[in-house]
Amino acid sequence: MRYYNKIMKISALSLFVFFLSTFYLSGQAASLIVIDPLVENVAGNIKSTDPGQVVITLPDEGNPLKFIANKLKESQYDEIHLYVLTKPGSIIFDEINITSENIGDYSADFSEWRSFAKPESTILIHSENLISGQEGQSLIDKITEFTGKAVIVKN
């Protein structure tokens, strides 16, 4: 009986902690901050200090878009920040170079983001030069189309 009471107390405490953390985060924007290894030395100073932030570095191997989709499955984020290498009209992950010409090859991956992210979530791409030129804006338009999310490019 004593063992049963301990289990019940632990279970009640676990539920309390879960509900408290859910209540605490419910009023705050939750952000997934994704850092590509190619820019880790520049963006590596980003730390998760806000309880609503999750900071991840993409693995060196594998499909980064699928990796992000798997992270989106784990929680409901209001914002998805991408710190990736860019050039005019191109987003460069470690193994993938996405342009307006080849983004159709990744449409299924981006569509997973639509499925797993909150309907009102926003994608923020941190770049100084992505949208300089027509190809960049076309790429952003396609990402918006495939994900169903607002896409903002920030300097």
**What's the domain count of the chain?**
1
The interaxial angle of helices 107-116 and 134-147, nearest 10 deg, is: 50
Alpha carbons within 13 A on the beta-carbon side of 123 = 25
Q: Examine residue 23 and state whether it is found in any structural domain, yes or no.
A: no
For residue 75, give both structure tokens: 């929680």
The overall pTM is greater than 0.85: no
The better pLDDT of the pair 140, 14 is held by 140
Backbone phi, then psi, for 31, in 5-degree steps?
-125, 135
Q: Examine residue 79 and state whether it is found in any structural domain, yes or no.
A: yes
- List strands edge to edge, sheet with 97-99: 85-87, 90-92, 97-99
Q: Examine residue 10 and state whether it is found in any structural domain, yes or no.
A: no
Q: Examine residue 24 and state whether it is found in any structural domain, yes or no.
A: no
The residue-averaged pLDDT of 138-154 equals 96
Residue 62 CA to residue 28 CA, distance in Å, equals 32
The residue-averaged pLDDT of 100-120 equals 95
Query: CATH code at 117?
Result: 3.40.50
- Of the given ranges (17-21, 53-57, 71-75, 90-94), which has the lowest mean pLDDT? 17-21
- Of the given ranges (13-17, 31-35, 89-93), which has the lowest mean pLDDT? 13-17
Q: Examine residue 13 and state whether it is found in any structural domain, yes or no.
A: no
Q: Examine residue 2 and state whether it is found in any structural domain, yes or no.
A: no
pLDDT in tens, 47-76: 666 778 999 999 999 999 999 999 999 999
Q: Which residues of 68-82 are buried (b: 16+ CB within 10 A; e: fewer)?
A: bbebbeeeebebbbb
For residue 63, the surrounding DSSP H or E stretch is: none
Domain encompassing residue 142: 29-154
The residue-averaged pLDDT of 105-125 equals 95
Q: Examine residue 92 and state whether it is found in any structural domain, yes or no.
A: yes
Q: Examine residue 12 and state whether it is found in any structural domain, yes or no.
A: no
Residue 51 CA to residue 64 CA, distance in Å, equals 24
User: In this structure, how many other beta carbons lie within 10 angstroms of the beta carbon of residue 96?
Assistant: 16
